[in-house]
Chains A and B, each alone.
Chain A
Amino acid sequence: MNKIQRNRLVDSGFKYVGIFCTFFGIVMLLIFIGNILADGLSRIDWDFLTNLPSRRAAKAGILTAWTGTAWILGLTAIISIPLGVAAGIYLQEYGKKNRLAYIIELNIANLAGVPSIIYGLLGLEIFVRVLHFGGSLLAGAFTLALLILPIIIVATREALKAVPNSLREASYGMGATKWQTIWDQILPAASGGILTGIILALSRAVGETAPLIVIGALAYVPFVPTTPMDEFTVLPIQIFNWVSRPQADFLVNGAAAIIILLILTFIMNGVAVYLRNKWQKKISW
């Protein structure tokens, strides 16, 4: 075999290596989801969703966990969406050339790389101790809101950037002020992209475990939280707690809870991808 033939062989061989690698991760995930379904699907019934936690694996349910997750999702959204979108608007529409905007931008790039557990330490000190929220839903939501803020800001900027300048100029030409232009023209035009970013960021918050453990969310909460100041647990922490126990029955519970968590994550991501595609098709300006 001469050199040319060998080169061609390597070239066509790489195609298969490429396909193999591309699907390796996805296939692993499918194997895993199959495993989880086999382990946990039979455990899911009405009682599992509506029972309080229990020392006995067969009686334990995820009522407090999923209500905690729902609370956290809602509160985090309320805190992070206005802040993130406002900061994104400022950076993209107002602060193109000033120093403050440059520092904020640099800072956001840095924050995006800070491990989530460090946000937990921040929340523990600021929200739990200094502001006296304790290990409450509110402390958890503020911590997660800070964590996902960079994602929402970046997504907002990208969406605003995609709005063509002609729209801005037309609005100014009609005598609109800068804010009127942003509020009435730019934001509606960018809303699809912003919404996609928000949903992805919130889905990240739903899956976070470590920062909430650090701020003192409990694994065993025998009541459904009714106010933002209540102590709480969330699905990922409940899963972590069950997985950490040696008894096989609790692993089954863990698998069942993972199915619920994955359904939630995949629905949120699916909606985000759907919105993104729809929005991209619409803007052929």
Chain B
Amino acid sequence: MKRSGEVIIEKVLALSGIITILTTLGIIWVLISESAGFFADIPLTDFLFDTEWTPLFAEKHYGILPLLSGTFLTTLIAISTALPMGIIIAVYLSEYADKRFRRTVKPMLEILAAVPTVVYGFFALTVVTPFLQQFIPSLGSFNALSAGLVMGIMIIPVISSLSEDALYAVPKSLREASYGMGATKFQTSFKVVVPAASSGILVSVILGIARAIGETMVVAIAAGQQPNLTLDPRQTVETITAYIVQVSLGDVQHGSLEYKTVFAAGITLFVFTFLLNNVSFWIKKKYQEKYE
């Protein structure tokens, strides 16, 4: 009697786990089935090589490049901010700071990741952009620069906390050998510990990039909603995510081509983040047991 109850419980628990697999399959199915309708009407070559994206205008073009360049540009700015900051913080906390300082500062950094992203968007639009306009008069009121910078601040904890874990895991003997050779703490940190932890740091950076690519509200609020094939950070750009929001806010008929553009944009986004996540997962698995 008891045993059959046990078996049922195990099955129920396994079923809950299987829901996560169904979620993934659901995402893939939804994206493929809806964008299949899109690609039946629009040739893939237009999608990939046309330099304009104007599905909501009278004269329609369906080239994803302007959305990709917008996504790439804001992500690049965000990572250029978060990468040096995140790694310096990680090295400082892991190699220089004492234990108590680490313990108090780490939760404070995590607050940065806990603030809702719509709030960061407001920050970029109403504080950072006016501030930067004092130095860059040609900066538009919606621009890639402040959206990217604020996104960078938001991503700092992703990079710093994962990198710090990687640095912390480097065995003491390596550091001691380096000190024994007369190296300073700075030399030891950057020439011995950081290279030894490079795979973990790389994983943190890739996850940071994936996060920036998928971020929506900051760019929808502060970068604008105008597809623009440019790499000029002062200009208004639209990212893939911002486009999806723009269409969702409007009154688009279910089943129309405009409706399907959202899924074509979505599958592009999904492919990029999926690849980045898998690369990071692979790196983690491959280099995990280096010191064990």
Chain A interface (Cβ within 8 Å of chain B)? 7-8, 10-11, 14-15, 17-19, 21-22, 24-26, 28-29, 31-32, 35-36, 39, 82-84, 86-87, 89-91, 94-95, 100-101, 103-104, 106-111, 113-122, 125-126, 129, 146, 149-150, 153, 177-179, 200, 203-204, 206-210, 213-214, 216, 219, 236, 239-240, 243-244, 251, 254-255, 258, 261-262, 265-266, 269, 273
Contact = CB atoms under 8 A, between A and B. Distances in A.
Max chain A Cβ within 10 angstroms of own Cβ: one of B17, B19, B121, B186:
B17
B150 to A, nearest CB: 9
B13 A89 contact: yes
Given A106-B281, A113-B210, A121-B30, A91 B109 contact: no
A239 B134 CA distance: 26
List the 6 closest A-B pairs by CB distance, nearest first.
A115-B214, A18-B92, A207-B116, A90-B13, A113-B277, A86-B16
B88 A18 contact: yes
Max chain B Cβ within 10 angstroms of own Cβ: one of A7, A113, A206:
A113
Contacts of B2: 177
B31 interface: yes
A214 B248 contact: yes
Given A90-B10, A117-B266, A203-B114, 17 more contacts: A18-B89, A21-B88, A32-B123, A39-B126, A101-B17, A104-B17, A115-B213, A115-B269, A118-B214, A118-B266, A118-B273, A204-B114, A207-B116, A239-B119, A240-B221, A255-B122, A269-B114
A104 B6 contact: no
Contacts, number: 252
B12 interface: yes
A262 B280 CA distance: 32
A125 B262 CA distance: 12
B241 A243 contact: no
A18 B156 contact: no
B237 interface: no
Interface in B127-179: 127, 153, 156-157
User: Main SS of chain A's interface residues?
Assistant: helix
B18 interface: yes
Interface in B84-105: 84-85, 88-89, 91-93, 96-97, 105
Given A115-B241, A177-B6, A265-B114, A26 B20 contact: no
Given A104-B17, A116-B214, A10 B186 contact: yes
Contacts of B96: 14-15, 18
B26 A117 contact: no
Interface string B223-249: 000000000000000000100110011
A125 B35 CA distance: 12
A203 B114 CA distance: 8
Contacts of B91: 18
Interface string B195-213: 0000000000001001001
B223 to A, nearest CB: 13
Max chain A Cβ within 10 angstroms of own Cβ: one of B6, B127, B249:
B249
Given A25-B156, A120-B248, A14 B111 contact: no
